[in-house]
Amino acid sequence: MTIDPHQEKRGFEAEVKQLLDMVVHSLYSNKEIFLRELISNASDAIDKLRFEALSDPALYESDSNLAIRIRFDKEAQTVTVSDNGIGMSREEVISHLGTIAKSGTREFLSHLTGDQKKDSHLIGQFGVGFYSVFMVADKVTVLTRRAGLGAVHGVRWESTGNGEYTVENVEKPSRGTDIILHLKKDAEEFLDNWRLRSIITKYSDHLNLPILMPKLTEDEKVTEEWETVNRATALWALPKNEVKAEQYNEFYKHISHDFEDPLAWTHHKIEGGNIDYICLLYLPAHAPFDLFHREAHHGLKLYVQRVFIMDQVEQFLPNYLRFIRGVIDTTALPLNISREILQDHPSIAKLRSALVRHTLDLLEKLAKDDPEKYAKFWKEFGNVLKEGPAEDFANRMRIAKLLRFASTHHDTDLQSVSFTDYIQRMKPNQKKIYYVTAENFNAAKSSPHLEIFRKNNIEVLLLSDRIDEWVVSHLPEFEGKPLQSVAKGELQLDEITNEDVATKQAEEQKEKEQSQVFDALLKKIKAILDHQVKEVRLSHRLTSSPVCLVRDQDALGSQMERLLKAVGQTVTESKPILELNPEHTIIQKMREGLNEERLKEWTQLLYEQALLAEGSALPDPAAFVQRMNKLWMEMMR
């Protein structure tokens, strides 16, 4: 049978072109990683074949010695990486090697600056995979055939990396993929037996798959015989004391396609309990670009007795731990398990709770032994872990201990204070953990609600991430101390101030008098703001601001209200309470008497500034500006 080559020339997708450009210009300082990327792809392809062959053994085509073969040819100036894995059909070649299927690609590309150092760091995080070959090659030929399709279904793909590639049909008797790199002049260093072997052992010693190179004669001539270069044992199956830190690091890079070392890992072999498994879990040093994408890939690699079953298995970890990478290998699942069956398999729940426990152990240990690394982790993934108290009720308190917040105890927006730190600094009378929520750190820091707390030197947690009100709504208390918003409910002053009985009595007396003196004003203001506020009362919170808005103890916070509105939920708005500072000159002036029109204007202005201070939008901003300017003009007269 003759083959219709059906050759065509195609252009890369725009994103690929951009990425290729960046790869060549920003990553050249670490060229050797091209080999790691190709080996990773080859090993993934072999894993896929092994898995598909479980239900269709014919795919082995009488060649079940799965291996990766690497050879070089000094004369032709080529390095070739071959695998007898699953291979690709013509359609697959076009879609896998001509486009980027990763979520968040466009967003990633928009982060690139043109500054090579910064960009190379970003590209490392993104992972370039196959395209890294263009760092070392000026032409790349891919010969591939999908397992089971027959020799005439081979495909040849070729590109110089300059925006276009060709594809044509060819005959390829063996299944799998050969990647032939025509090396650039400045990449000739890779035409060297020892150089290639040392890169292979550095990056891929631990693959559970042999990597072969031709045996050399004594005078370094290439022979027809192949020999295994790596150790080819599954890293996770080795006892911990036989694995070095570098090997753990390299294995992480292999499974995660990350360029940087992980922050930490935890490795367990559990046998003879109620469920047998081995797990190796890694904490990455950087958040991937798609951490907050709904369709993003998360999860662990699943093996059953060393046989790769599937990638990105999300069932083993809850969402709030989706940043964890790693491997789970178990005898508790059948080899032929499918994604659909996996969902409901009775072992999943057991494995999941074990893996959550290992992960929380790892985080606790890191927080205790290496706070600096923990701070790094928090910066990258804190906002994900904050989903924990709502998602995982059973582990709520363990997760709460791991949370970190900004606080009035520090000047910076760094989130470094734990509930435990906070409790240690609580005042003798203090019974609650106080927090304020706001749109951003500065708004939280200068919230008028903090005035009385600052005056009495009481720490308040400053919560300004979008998810924070959601977090505290799922954490009513920590170690017996209720969490209390400083902008909600009535303040228990005696918890905050540390006064003796006499002063307290004097204060109470003063309050009584004030409430009589201000009674008429409070009523008038309430009448003016009848539609906007639920109540008008005197405040104990303020020392320098004239007014603030307060919510009922069980009402939604203003931040949560905005959040729900933003996602299109109908929010039953609870009217806020307006609190006045009786010591403030403006309030005293108002009490002493203003004509009706003025009182109205001033009241509106006070209400509007209270809205602004809590970060809420004004219902009629232009009217506010007019009122303010009018006041200003009066002052100038």
Q: Which residues bind ligand ADP (CB under 6 A)?
A: 37, 41-42, 45, 83, 85-88, 96-97, 127, 129-131, 177, 257
Which residue minimizes CB distance to ligand ADP? 129
Which CB, 30 or 457, lies closer to ligand ADP? 30
Q: How far is the CB of 117 from ligand ADP (least distance, A)?
A: 23
Q: How far is the CB of 102 from ligand ADP (least distance, A)?
A: 7
Q: Could you count the other beta carbons within 10 Å of the beta carbon of residue 585? A: 9
- Specify whether the CB–CB gap between 562 and 500 falls below 8 A: no
Classify residue 65 as exposed, middle or buried by CB count within 10 Å of its CB (0-12, 13-18, 19+).
exposed
Rounded Cα–Cα distance for residues 87 and 53 (Å): 13
Ramachandran angles phi, psi of 298, nearest 5°: -130, 180
Rounded Cα–Cα distance for residues 162 and 339 (Å): 39
- Within 13 A of 395's CA, how many CA atoms are on the CB side? 24
Rounded Cα–Cα distance for residues 489 and 554 (Å): 8
Which CB, 131 or 282, lies closer to ligand ADP? 131
Structure tokens at 293: 């994408």
Structure tokens at 90: 């013509």
- Specify whether the CB–CB gap between 169 and 89 falls below 8 A: no
Which CB, 129 or 557, lies closer to ligand ADP? 129
- Specify whether the CB–CB gap between 550 and 577 falls below 8 A: yes
Which CB, 45 or 53, lies closer to ligand ADP? 45
Q: How far is the CB of 303 from ligand ADP (least distance, A)?
A: 18
Rounded Cα–Cα distance for residues 617 and 622 (Å): 12
Q: How far is the CB of 213 from ligand ADP (least distance, A)?
A: 17
Three-state DSSP at 202 gives: helix
Classify residue 343 as exposed, middle or buried by CB count within 10 Å of its CB (0-12, 13-18, 19+).
exposed
Which CB, 100 or 302, lies closer to ligand ADP? 100
Which CB, 87 or 382, lies closer to ligand ADP? 87
Which CB, 145 or 386, lies closer to ligand ADP? 145
Q: Which amino acid is at 447?
A: S
Classify residue 100 as exposed, middle or buried by CB count within 10 Å of its CB (0-12, 13-18, 19+).
buried
Which CB, 66 or 444, lies closer to ligand ADP? 66
Q: Could you count the other beta carbons within 10 Å of the beta carbon of residue 476? A: 10
Which CB, 68 or 360, lies closer to ligand ADP? 68
Q: How far is the CB of 95 from ligand ADP (least distance, A)?
A: 8
Which CB, 327 or 538, lies closer to ligand ADP? 327
For the chain, the C-alpha Rg in angstroms (whole number) is 33
- Provide the phi-psi class of 577: left if phi over 0, else alpha when psi is between -120 and 50, else beta: beta
- Specify whether the CB–CB gap between 204 and 254 falls below 8 A: yes
Q: How far is the CB of 214 from ligand ADP (least distance, A)?
A: 20
Which CB, 253 or 541, lies closer to ligand ADP? 253
Q: How far is the CB of 174 from ligand ADP (least distance, A)?
A: 13
Q: Could you count the other beta carbons within 10 Å of the beta carbon of residue 478? A: 19
Kind and range of the H or E element at 477?
A: strand 477-478
- Specify whether the CB–CB gap between 326 and 255 falls below 8 A: yes
In the chain, how long is the greatest CA-to-CA distance? 107
Three-state DSSP at 411 gives: coil
Q: How far is the CB of 229 from ligand ADP (least distance, A)?
A: 18
Which CB, 127 or 284, lies closer to ligand ADP? 127
Rounded Cα–Cα distance for residues 217 and 185 (Å): 27
- Specify whether the CB–CB gap between 17 and 163 falls below 8 A: yes
Beta strand pairing call for 461-463 and 433-437: parallel
DSSP state of 413: -
Rounded Cα–Cα distance for residues 175 and 153 (Å): 10
- Within 13 A of 229's CA, how many CA atoms are on the CB side? 26
Q: How far is the CB of 297 from ligand ADP (least distance, A)?
A: 9
Q: How far is the CB of 40 from ligand ADP (least distance, A)?
A: 7
Q: How far is the CB of 82 from ligand ADP (least distance, A)?
A: 9
Which CB, 143 or 450, lies closer to ligand ADP? 143
Q: How many residues does the chain have?
A: 637
Q: How far is the CB of 28 from ligand ADP (least distance, A)?
A: 18
Q: How far is the CB of 182 from ligand ADP (least distance, A)?
A: 18
Q: How far is the CB of 178 from ligand ADP (least distance, A)?
A: 9
Rounded Cα–Cα distance for residues 561 and 447 (Å): 18
Which CB, 45 or 605, lies closer to ligand ADP? 45
Which CB, 126 or 435, lies closer to ligand ADP? 126
Q: How far is the CB of 618 from ligand ADP (least distance, A)?
A: 49
